[in-house]
């Protein structure tokens, strides 16, 4: 998304002065937000190849399989955050979709599995809508609501499957496996792009997307302009539920089992991907490509640590430190700008 909003450009201290500054700021403002995240991913991949020269097709596939559910979690979180809210139940919904899929698909054939998948997507959207309805109707802050519903959905996941197990037909699993178009383009990535685009592009181009951004950027102003704030917020949560369901299905495809506790990681990491991907938590700004790409970067971290023979538990420290550094840098720049 390109805007001539001066706040989108970098801190003035880093750029040349005068007319050249204005021109380069406009260029930076227009293109860097778009290429910033892909650039970061490219740097990360280059670095990985440098420390591990035999990084090949198998490894790209591993990366894609590992990042797929996280990318959907990041997408889910983005929808809600852009509308000005937050969803701390993303991980639990992923777990519910995962165990639902693995338990119902265990003895199904490919066609039945696809139908079940469609059903689970609808169920995910409905769960998201329920989240949204509770947030809007109960007047409890969304942090508290989604923290609690996350807990509830976690219980639901355990109810469906008390311990890891289940399965899915091989053809369903093969949807995300392997590479058909090119050795460096895993099917998982194609699946991801297709799934996200199918939902996001119509939204972005249509009126609904505009409403979501409006509600996120200034809720009171949107209300006063006649926007149905409550319906829009419920829509955002519905989309989050839909993407979470996709994440759960992706998890089933990539691991071939259902695990009720698998979701715990995705809530916080999805939020991390969101922050690193450049979406502002105040709402109304950002796109979906940043967080999705950030999901790949985050997945690359434990892999790189293993290649470097560093304890992969440092991965959590690094993830937390990254969030802290990124938001602190962002805050620092804002403060600097406000000061002048």
Partner 1 sequence: MSARIPSTGRRPPSVLGKRSRDLLVFLRDHTIVALVLLLCIFVFGIELIRPGTVTPTWLSNSLQFAAPLGILAAGQTLVMLTGGIDLSVASVATGAAYLLTTNVSLGGFAAVLIALAFGVIVGALNGIGVALLQVQPLVMTLGTGLMSGGVMIVYSQKMLASQARVPGFIQALGSGKLWGVAPLDLFLWVPLAALLIFGLSRTGFGRLLYAIGDNRLACHLTGIRVWRILLVNYILCSVVAAVGGLVLVGSTNAADLGLADVYLLPSVAAVIIGGTSIFGGRGGYGGSIVGAVILTVLTSLLTLLDVPEPIKQILYGAIILVLAAAYARLTG
Partner 2 sequence: MRTSSKLLYASLFTILLSVAGAYSARAADKYVVGVSNTLIGNGWREEMICSIKAQALASGVVSKVIVANRNAGPAEQISDLRNLISAGVNVIVLNPSDREALNPVIKQAAARGIVVVAVDQAVSAPEAYVLSNDQVDYGKAGAEWLFKHLNGKGNVVEMRGIDGVPADADRHKGFTEALANYPNIKVVAMPFTGWALNKSAQQAKDLLASGKQIDGIWTSGLDAVVVDAIQTSGKPLMPVIGADNNGFVGQLITLKDKGFAGAAVTNPPSVGGAGLAVALDVLQKKGDHPKVIKITPEVWDNTSDVGLATLKRNYDPKLDPYYSMDYTVAPYTTYTKDQLLACKGP
Burial letters 20-33, b for 16+ CB under 10 A, else e: eeeeebeebbeeeb
If you search the block for the tokens 């066609």, which residue do you land on? 111
- Residue 123 CB, shortest distance to partner 1, in Å, is 16
Q: What is the DSSP string of 235-264?
A: HHHHHHHHHHHHHHHHHHHHHSSB-TTTTH
- Residue 231 CB, shortest distance to partner 1, in Å, is 13
Q: Does 164 bind partner 2 (CB under 8 A)?
A: yes
If you search the block for the tokens 């990124």, which residue do you land on? 326
**Among the listed residues 1, 20, 43, 198, the single contact to partner 2 using CB under 8 A:** 43
- 156 interface partner picked from partner 2, partner 1, none, CB below 5 to 8 A per type: partner 1
Q: Does 314 bind partner 1 (CB under 8 A)?
A: yes
* Rounded Cα gap, residues 231 and 208, in angstroms: 10
With CA atoms as reference, report the closest residue to 122 among 147, 89, 100, 138. Answer: 100
**Among the listed residues 177, 223, 231, 304, the single contact to partner 1 using CB under 8 A:** 223
Q: Does 182 bind partner 1 (CB under 8 A)?
A: no
**Nearest CB to partner 1, comparing residues 208 and 281:** 281
- 233 interface partner picked from partner 2, partner 1, none, CB below 5 to 8 A per type: none
**Nearest CB to partner 1, comparing residues 83 and 104:** 83
* Rounded Cα gap, residues 79 and 87, in angstroms: 9
- By CB under 8 A, what part of segment 102-161 binds partner 1? 134, 138-141, 143-145, 147-149, 151-152, 154-159
- By CB under 8 A, what part of segment 173-212 binds partner 2? none
- By CB under 8 A, what part of segment 252-271 binds partner 2? 254-257, 259, 261-262, 265
- Residue 103 CB, shortest distance to partner 1, in Å, is 14
Q: Does 231 bind partner 1 (CB under 8 A)?
A: no
Q: Does 218 bind partner 1 (CB under 8 A)?
A: yes
List the end-to-end C-alpha distance of the chain, in Å, as a whole number.
28
Q: Does 265 bind partner 1 (CB under 8 A)?
A: no
63, two tokens? 């990366």
**Among the listed residues 122, 311, 317, 324, the single contact to partner 2 using CB under 8 A:** 311
**Among the listed residues 17, 309, 335, 340, the single contact to partner 2 using CB under 8 A:** 309
Q: What is the DSSP string of 22-50?
A: HHHHHHHHHHHHHHHHHHHHHHHHHHHHH
Helix, strand and coil content of the chain, in percent to the nearest 5, comes to 75, 0, 25
Query: Is residue 48 within 8 Å of 66, Cβ to Cβ?
Result: no
Residues constituting the chain: 340
- Residue 15 CB, shortest distance to partner 1, in Å, is 22
* Rounded Cα gap, residues 305 and 338, in angstroms: 39
Return the half-sphere exposure (C-beta side, CA atoms, 13 A cut-off) of residue 194.
Answer: 9
**Nearest CB to partner 2, comparing residues 181 and 325:** 325
With contacts defined by CB under 8 A, name the span among 35-43, 99-107, 200-208, 314-322 that binds partner 1: 314-322
Q: Does 330 bind partner 1 (CB under 8 A)?
A: yes
Q: Which residues contact 252 (CB under 8 A, 6 or more apart)?
A: 97, 98, 101, 102, 105, 168, 172, 258
Rounded to the nearest 10 degrees, the angle between the axes of helix 187-205 and helix 57-82 is 20
List residues near partner 2 by CB under 8 A. 8-11, 14, 28-29, 32-33, 36-37, 39-40, 43-44, 47, 51-52, 54-55, 58-59, 62, 65-66, 162-165, 251, 254-257, 259, 261-262, 265, 276, 278-280, 302-313, 315, 318, 322, 325-326, 329-330, 333
Positions that interact with partner 1 (CB under 8 A): 84, 86, 134, 138-141, 143-145, 147-149, 151-152, 154-159, 162, 218-220, 223, 229, 268, 271-272, 275, 281-283, 311, 313-324, 327-328, 330-332, 334-335
């Amino acid at each position: 998304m390109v805007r001539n909003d001066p706040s989108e450009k970098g801190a003035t201290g880093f750029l040349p002065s005068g007319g050249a500054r204005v021109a380069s700021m406009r260029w930076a403002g227009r293109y860097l937000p778009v290429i910033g995240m892909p650039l970061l991913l490219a740097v990360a991949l280059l670095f990985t190849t440098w420390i591990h020269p035999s990084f090949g097709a198998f490894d790209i596939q591993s990366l894609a399989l590992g990042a797929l559910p996280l990318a959907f979690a990041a997408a889910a979180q983005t929808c809600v955050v852009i509308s000005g809210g937050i969803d701390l139940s993303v991980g639990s919904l992923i777990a519910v979709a995962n165990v639902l899929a693995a338990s119902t698909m265990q003895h199904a054939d490919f066609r039945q599995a696809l139908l079940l998948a469609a059903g689970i997507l609808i169920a995910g959207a409905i769960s998201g809508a329920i989240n949204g309805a509770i947030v809007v109707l109960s007047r409890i802050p969304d942090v508290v609501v989604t923290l609690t519903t996350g807990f509830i959905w976690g219980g639901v996941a355990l109810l469906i499957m008390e311990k890891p197990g289940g399965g899915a037909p091989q053809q369903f699993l093969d949807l995300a496996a392997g590479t058909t178009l090119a050795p460096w383009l895993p099917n998982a990535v194609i699946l991801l792009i297709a799934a996200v685009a199918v939902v996001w592009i119509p939204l972005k181009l249509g009126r609904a997307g505009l409403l979501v951004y409006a509600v996120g950027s200034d809720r009171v102003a949107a209300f006063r302009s006649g926007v149905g704030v409550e319906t829009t917020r419920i829509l955002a949560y519905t989309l989050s539920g839909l993407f979470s369901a996709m994440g759960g299905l992706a998890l089933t495809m990539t691991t071939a089992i259902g695990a009720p506790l698998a979701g715990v990681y995705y809530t916080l990491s999805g939020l991390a991907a969101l922050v690193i991907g450049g979406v502002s938590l105040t709402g109304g700004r950002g796109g979906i490509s940043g967080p999705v790409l950030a999901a790949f970067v985050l997945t690359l971290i434990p892999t790189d640590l293993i290649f470097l023979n560093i304890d992969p538990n440092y991965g959590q420290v690094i993830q937390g430190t990254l969030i802290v550094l990124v938001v602190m840098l962002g805050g620092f720049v804002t403060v600097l700008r406000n000061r002048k």
